[in-house]
Structure 1
Amino acid sequence: MKKMFLLLLLITISMVCHAKEPCTNKTIVRDYQFNINTQPYKFTSYLCEDKNKDEDEDDAIFSTPGILEIHGKNFNKTFKNVIGIAGHRGIIFSQWNDKHKPVFFYSLKYTTAYIPIIIKDNNIMIKCSYIELTLRTGIKANYSYCGDLQIVDDGFGEVGIGFDKLIRDFYLESTYYFSNFTENKESLQYKKFDVFIGKIDGISFYRRYSSIKDYELNKYTIIIANKEKEYRFKPEDDVYQRIVDRSGSQAFIGLDIVDSKGNIKFYNKKALSALLNKSTIKRNITSYIQYDEKTKLYNKPSNRSATDMYLVKHDSVTILDEIVNKGNGFVDWYKISYNSEKHGKIIKWIDGNAFFAMREISSD
């Protein structure tokens, strides 16, 4: 009986030791030090490429699994199935650019995201994701999404849940998804233009490019404007459009501004209105026609009010207002001002597609 007891004890110890057997083939080992809530924490991450390591594990998530170790005062935790590589999807522990914030960095095809880590109640938690999409024009668009505060548990990276719940498909790409501002004329090389990106109530949002070169470099300043004023955010700030789970223009609820120090501030429509009220800059939103054919001018935002006048590609106009389709978030009509050599200053309406390149519209 004593021998049987010793044998069972030996088997139990062997199983526990096997279960806690460390990774023997660590690759891409990274060490980070962060102060969170005034407390220092050490983060160590690595991929575990042990052969046959996970063959017998039913809960294996990643084809190349990773391990994340976090150590601090009275805080020592190890996570698996949180970071690693699975097909085209990769999740690694990193820091947010030069902002020195601990994040999970998520990558999938044309989508990347920074998911900041929160330490609260002795748990690792996440809440928001800051997402960068590469559009088919090659231009990058920033969005942010915040859900419920979630505890990061072992196995959190399971396919279909976990991080994927914070990575949303967004459909507010609107004008700049189609816009293709190619340099077809020498006069356009240094021509400033703005691109409409969204609207909350009476506040419109634009990207301002100082030249074709800046457009190609994805270098821009975010502008918010109403019919009278505009406000320009600092060009060195990272600006993210905050999105919620609704469709069309209703999904766009505000902006997340990430300054050069990594501080994040969310501006809802009330805060954005306050910025506009403080601004003394007169609205001056401009762009130029991209439509390959003649663009008709209308007296009203209606197809029944067409005039005999028209604009052609590369004509520059000042955008006075826009009417957004509530269903899909696209602009149906723009109210514009144009300086005509024949008629002087004219104020009319044009179809929302005027700032789309025709070949881009017909390519689908």
Structure 2
Amino acid sequence: MKKILLLLLLIIISTVCHAKDPCTNKTFVENYQFNINSQPYKFTSYLCEDKNKDEDDDVFLTPGILEIHGKNFNKTYKNVIGMAGHRASMFTQWNDKHKPVFFYSLKDIIAHIPIIIKDNNLMVNCIYINKSLENSIELNYSHCGNLQIIEDGFGDEGFDKLLRDFYLEAIYYFSNFTENKESLQYKKFDVFIGKIDGISFYRRYSSIKDYKLNKYTVVMVNKEKEYRFKPEDEVYQRIVERSGSQAFIGLDIVDSKGNIKFYNKKTLSALLNKSTIKRNITSYIQYDEKTKLYNKPSDRSATDMYLVQHDSVTILDEILYKGNSLVTWYKISYNSKKHGKIIKWIKGNAFFPMREISSD
């Protein structure tokens, strides 16, 4: 009987020792350790360059494997990370912020998807997206939905299904200030990016150079005050699954330590109410034809006065087209040599370069 038991034990040990390794040719091996929920976890990720891999089992042309080991948690994930054409999904940490994330890229989009371990499952919830536009500016937005369990074979869509279109892209596409205009070289200016009811949001650039380098400070304002977020913070505009301007519900702020805090309209209003800084939003006319001035936001209130390209104005208010993010009218203040300080209205396309309008 003992011989039979010993034989069975040897068979079991032999089977375990010769169990198929999930990958024999590992490349780009990365090891990380993170504390999640006060528990240490070891993450090992690598690409699998096996020549005889079963392609039917892999979503990626160059598949990867993610191993996670912790207390009562030992799992291996396939078809979650890897590379396929223009698409790549890798495990890493978010900048130097020591936060475990999936790094996702697809052509002009990169995203960070923070990892959650809950109920003995690997899960994701939010995605933080940076999108490069035609004018070289990066667009930052975020989307959070239901917790999703990450399993082997995440599906043909992979993380693609977590991406959402961003309704404010038009604002950025039309921002394209002339780089070689001497009068703009060393002056700050603001670019409108969105609005939640009475709160408007701008990107403040200290110069054309910073504009091209995508260095800015996010400023929010009401009609009287402004509040400036820290330049070192990463600011993402949080959107939800609604159309038009209603999709924009607040901001996600990622500080230098990697902490993420969501600010809804109520919280943002509280920040503005505490601020002592007077609103001072300025920008430059981009339209390369004469920009008419109006007494009211109406075509029937046109005056004989006008502005020209690169005139600097102070933006007092803006009116969005109902249902989307396009600005139809701006209320502005302008210091005229002939008339002194004047307060009038201009059409929204005054801040659009004419070549962008003509290309549509």
- Measured against the shorter chain, the TM-score band is over 0.9
The equivalent residue for 1:153 is 151
1:111 and 2:105 equivalent? no
Distance 1:114 1:316 in 2: 37
1:321 and 2:317 equivalent? yes
1:353 and 2:344 equivalent? no
1:36 and 2:36 equivalent? yes
Shift of 1:165: 2.1
Q: How far does the alpha carbon of each residue in 1:52-77 deviate from its partner, in whole angstroms, 9 at most, with x for none?
A: 2114xx33211111000001112111
Matches within 5 A, 1:334-349: 334-349=330-345
SS at match of 1:119: strand
SS at match of 1:197: strand
1:46 and 2:46 equivalent? yes
Q: 1:215 aligns with which of 162, 186, 211?
A: 211
The equivalent residue for 1:93 is 91
Q: How far does the alpha carbon of each residue in 1:315-345 deviate from its partner, in whole angstroms, 9 at most, with x for none?
A: 0000000001122211000000000010011
Give the letter aligned to residue 193 of structure 2: I
The equivalent residue for 1:291 is 287
Shift of 1:304: 1.1
Distance 1:225 1:174 in 2: 21
Give the letter aligned to residue 286 of structure 1: T
SS at match of 1:116: strand
Give the letter aligned to residue 125 of structure 2: K
Give the letter aligned to residue 226 of structure 2: E
1:192 and 2:188 equivalent? yes
List alignment gaps of at least 5 residues for structure 1: 1-11
Distance 1:20 1:247 in 2: 49
Q: 1:263 aligns with which of 259, 266, 281?
A: 259
Q: 2:80 aligns with which of 82, 94, 99?
A: 82
1:307 and 2:303 equivalent? yes
Q: How far does the alpha carbon of each residue in 1:338-363 deviate from its partner, in whole angstroms, 9 at most, with x for none?
A: 00010011000000000011011112
Shift of 1:19: 7.2
Give the letter aligned to residue 271 of structure 1: T
Give the letter aligned to residue 283 of structure 1: R
The equivalent residue for 1:177 is 173
The equivalent residue for 1:7 is none
1:233 and 2:229 equivalent? yes
Q: How far does the alpha carbon of each residue in 1:142-188 deviate from its partner, in whole angstroms, 9 at most, with x for none?
A: 000001001111111x223x412211221212322111111343121
Distance 1:352 1:19 in 2: 66
- Cα–Cα, structure 1 residues 15 and 306, in superposed 2: closer, same or farther, change >3 Å? farther
Distance 1:346 1:232 in 2: 27
Contact kept, 8 Å, 1:179 with 1:357, in 2: the verdict is yes
Distance 2:243 2:14 in 1: 55
Give the letter aligned to residue 29 of structure 2: V
The structure 1 segments of at least 4 consecutive aligned residues displaced by more than 2 Å after TM superposition are 12-22
User: Which deviates more from structure 2 when the two are superposed, residues 17-26 or residues 186-195?
Assistant: 17-26
Contact kept, 8 Å, 2:284 with 2:351, in 1: the verdict is yes
Shift of 1:33: 0.8
TM-score by length of 1: 0.93
Q: 1:136 aligns with which of 134, 137, 153?
A: 134
Give the letter aligned to residue 37 of structure 1: N
Provide the aligned C-alpha RMSD in A.
1.8
Q: 2:202 aligns with which of 201, 206, 229?
A: 206
Contact kept, 8 Å, 1:287 with 1:317, in 2: the verdict is yes
Matches within 5 A, 1:66-81: 66-81=64-79
Distance 1:24 1:97 in 2: 30
- Cα–Cα, structure 1 residues 87 and 19, in superposed 2: closer, same or farther, change >3 Å? farther
Q: 2:63 aligns with which of 60, 65, 78?
A: 65
Give aligned-pair identity as a percent.
Answer: 83
Distance 2:323 2:215 in 1: 30
Q: How far does the alpha carbon of each residue in 1:240-296 deviate from its partner, in whole angstroms, 9 at most, with x for none?
A: 000111122111110000000000000000100000000010000000100000000
SS at match of 1:117: strand
Distance 2:228 2:235 in 1: 11
Distance 1:18 1:246 in 2: 53
Distance 1:15 1:179 in 2: 64
Matches within 5 A, 1:233-252: 233-252=229-248
Contact kept, 8 Å, 1:230 with 1:281, in 2: the verdict is yes
Aligned pair count reads: 350
Give the letter aligned to residue 161 of structure 2: K
- Cα–Cα, structure 1 residues 15 and 71, in superposed 2: closer, same or farther, change >3 Å? closer
Give the letter aligned to residue 22 of structure 2: P
Distance 1:328 1:18 in 2: 60
Contact kept, 8 Å, 2:171 with 2:325, in 1: the verdict is no
Give the letter aligned to residue 239 of structure 2: I
Contact kept, 8 Å, 1:175 with 1:355, in 2: the verdict is no
